[in-house]
Amino acid sequence: FSNNKPPLGEPSKARRESLKKHNEKAPIQLQNLCPIHKYYAAADTVLTQFKQLLKEGDLDGAYIIGRRFALFSTISLPGHDYYASPDPELIKLRLKNQKDAQWVTTGVERIVQVMDKQEIQKQTAELERIRKQKEKEEKEKMEWEQKMKQRLTAESSSGSSMSVKRGGEEKDLISKLASLNNLFPREDADEEEELIPSAPPQHDIEQNEEMPPLPPPMAVPRIDDELEHSMLATSISAVDQLKSNGMTPMFEEPPSYSDLFLDVLRTSSVGNSTESLHQSTTSSSIPTSPLLVQQPRISIRTIQQTCSHQLQSCINMKQIEFIRLGTYQGRLASSSPKYDSTNGCAVISPLVVAAHIYPQHVVHKAKPELLLQHTSSTTTSKYGLGNVAINEIIDKRAPPILNAVRSKLGLSKHALIIPSDVH
């Protein structure tokens, strides 16, 4: 036995593709500077929404939200550097999210099954509607043809009876004229006998009675106004029904005058519509409230130019000073891997602040070279630490702390670290 059941998802494929096209976006990339437990909380919010939509019976909304949760849990969250952290709290959140993702995936598959059933029912109902419509049209057509045949038959029989009656009346008139002529004879009757027709002989009348006259030619059947109106309405409704079913009738309807007028109006008045609307708006006497007036938007390019001018002004006024360092993050990654400071800003910044606020006399006793050097303006600044101290923090002091923090948090080698974890 052959199984005619379509594969899972095939009947509702077009419906689901349309939903994904208008509502689904690519999975987002998570930022490591945002704690992962906040992303887990956002996933729980989406899960609650999925359950609510299932309860309300909104299959389309539940399908989109379920896919959103599944993609976020299986693609976006594993990309976070803290996803594989050995922290017990994060492990608990990860296991819960994985279990929820499995449950939602199963729910989405069941939603697809229900969608398939709905689409099959819609297709069956549409086919049944088309079949009934065809039967109705055939029935109406047969009824109309029957009525026309009956009307033609009735008109034909009435025409025959009228012709027979008319022939009998002509015979009576001739016999009456003959009797009148016999009652009033005149002298020149012999001369007028040739002019006045006499009654036909008796045997001619009997012969004529045996052969009735031919009926007049059959006239074209006339359709009254009510029947013509009903026929026109039936044809128009049939055309509209075909169009509503997505079919094309055997003939095209000519455009109406209103359609032609609207086409001309659209092509000729598009340019003037905006001006007329603006004039009608400006000529209105309704007062505008100053609170409702929107401020003009400033483009990003204008803001960048303004900030650049302000920065340059501060530099010219000696309020800001740029000093190049002798190193950068990750400079020793290839030569000395244990001193790799790549993506170590979360450790470097607090170390620089600590060195800045550290008592000067302690620094002076420990390492005098880390003191502020006011003699050379090219390598130091009169505000903050000198370049030598900052270079040492980046190349020597930060890397060991970076490795320890990443190992404790279970992060990869060059993963960004949340500042709060470092502190």
Report the Cα 154 to chain-centroid distance in Å.
59
* Integer Cα distance of 268 and 207 in angstroms: 81
Contact 187, 193 (CB under 8 A): no
Report the distance separating Cα 56 and Cα 50, nearest Å.
10
Burial class (CB in 10 A: 0-12, 13-18, 19+), 401: middle
Give pLDDT, residue 99.
Answer: 96
Amino acid identity at 153: T
How far, in Å, CA of 220 to CA of 236, rounded?
Answer: 25
Closest CA to 70 of 18, 95, 106, 35: 106
Token pair for residue 76? 């976006």
Nearest alpha-carbon partner for 46 in 33, 109, 54: 54
Q: Taking a C-beta distance cutoff of 8 angstroms, is the pair 69, 47 a contact?
A: yes
Query: Long-range contacts of range 42-49, CB-CB < 8 Å, 24 or more positions apart?
Result: 42/72, 43/69, 43/72, 43/73, 43/77, 43/97, 43/100, 44/100, 46/72, 47/100, 47/104
Please give the distance of CA 295 from its chain centroid, rounded to a whole number.
33
Question: What CA–CA distance (Å, rounded) separates 56 from 74?
Answer: 26
**Cβ–Cβ under 8 Å, residues 351 and 332:** no
Whole-angstrom Cα distance, residue 115 to residue 66?
14
How far is CA 156 from each of CA 145, 215, 285, 301, rounded to the nearest angstrom? 17, 10, 75, 91
Q: Which residues of 410-421 are buried (b: 16+ CB within 10 A; e: fewer)?
A: bbeeebbbbeeb
**Cβ atoms of residues 356 and 381 within 8 Å:** no
Q: Are 172 and 180 in contact (CB under 8 A)?
A: no
Asked if 93 and 40 count as a contact pair (C-beta separation under 8 A), the reply is yes
Do 117 and 15 form a contact (C-beta atoms < 8 A)? no
DSSP codes joined into one string, 294-311 = PPPP--HHHHHHHHHHHH
Nearest to 240 by CA among 137, 365, 394, 88: 137
User: Which are the contacts of 11, defined by CB distance < 8 A and separation ≥ 6?
Assistant: 115, 116, 119, 120, 123
In sequence order, what DSSP letters do the residues of 146-171 get, joined into one string?
Answer: HHHHHHHHHHHHHHHHHHHHHHHHHH
Whole-number pLDDT of residue 283 = 43
Residue 46 has a pLDDT of: 95
Is residue 70 within 8 A of residue 108, CB to CB? The reply is yes
Nearest-CA neighbor of 323 among 398, 269, 251, 376?
376
- Number of DSSP helices (H) and strands (E) in the chain, helices first: 14, 0
Cα–Cα distances (Å) from 286 to 281, 282, 290, in that order, read: 9, 9, 13
Print pLDDT tens along the chain (423 aa).
Answer: 445 677 888 899 999 999 999 998 888 889 888 889 999 999 999 999 999 999 999 999 999 999 999 999 999 999 998 998 888 999 999 999 999 999 999 999 999 999 999 999 999 999 999 999 999 999 999 999 888 888 888 877 776 665 555 555 666 677 777 777 776 655 555 554 554 444 445 544 444 445 555 555 555 455 555 555 555 455 455 445 545 555 444 444 444 444 444 444 444 444 444 444 444 444 444 444 444 556 788 888 999 999 999 999 999 998 888 888 889 998 888 888 888 989 888 899 999 888 888 755 455 555 555 544 433 434 444 456 788 888 999 999 999 999 888 888 888 888 888 887 777
Q: DSSP E strands: which ranges in 24-124?
A: none
